[in-house]
Amino acid sequence: MSGIGFGLLAATFTVILCACSWSGDQRDVLNAFQRVSGILEAGEWETAIEEGLDAGTGRFLDSLSEDLSGRGLEGYGSASEVLQVFYREYVDFDGEVTMIFIDGSAAEITVTPIDDGSYSAAAPSQYTMVLEEGEWMMDLSEVFRAGMEADLRGSYIR
């Protein structure tokens, strides 16, 4: 087996091992992630803002709603309307949680796409969870900012 082949095999084994043996703290983050992603996937936008998203994401959505509706754009009159549009445009929870890194009051979750029962070659997605008042909450503000920046790249809008 070539060095590259062995490296890929070792990396795959590590990912599988990690996904099967979460620590207690990682399990807490995973449970919170699954709870919030379930709320979002169900389209419960107000509940997501009130109970699942961190305060920074809430402020970001409020600010964006004010800005977009102030420019006369319809469909962005509230934070929940902005969340609905941005969630559908920039968030993809399809796949399997393969890594959870916790650094104090922040955690990064990697979701790896699955294709026909095995890990896909598509790029994995990263999501941030933050600890607020003893609860893990999802921070989508950077996902939304990165998506907007990518969409506006090459345009004259900044």
Q: What is the mean pLDDT of residues 89-113?
A: 95
Per the prediction, the chain carries an average pLDDT of: 87
Query: How far apart (Å, rounded) are the C-alpha atoms in residues 69 and 82?
Result: 10
The pTM is what? 0.80
Q: Do the beta carbons of residue 52 and residue 40 sit within 8 Å?
A: yes
pLDDT tens track for 76-90: 889 999 999 999 999
- For residue 105, what are its two tokens? 């009051």
What is the CATH T-level fold of the domain 23-152, as seen in this structure?
A: Nuclear Transport Factor 2; Chain: A, (3.10.450)
Q: Looking at residue 3, what is its pLDDT?
A: 53
Residue ranges covered by each domain of the chain: 23-152
Q: Looking at residue 8, what is its pLDDT?
A: 45
Predicted confidence band of residue 22 (pLDDT cuts 50, 70, 90)? very high
Q: Do the beta carbons of residue 140 and residue 127 sit within 8 Å?
A: yes
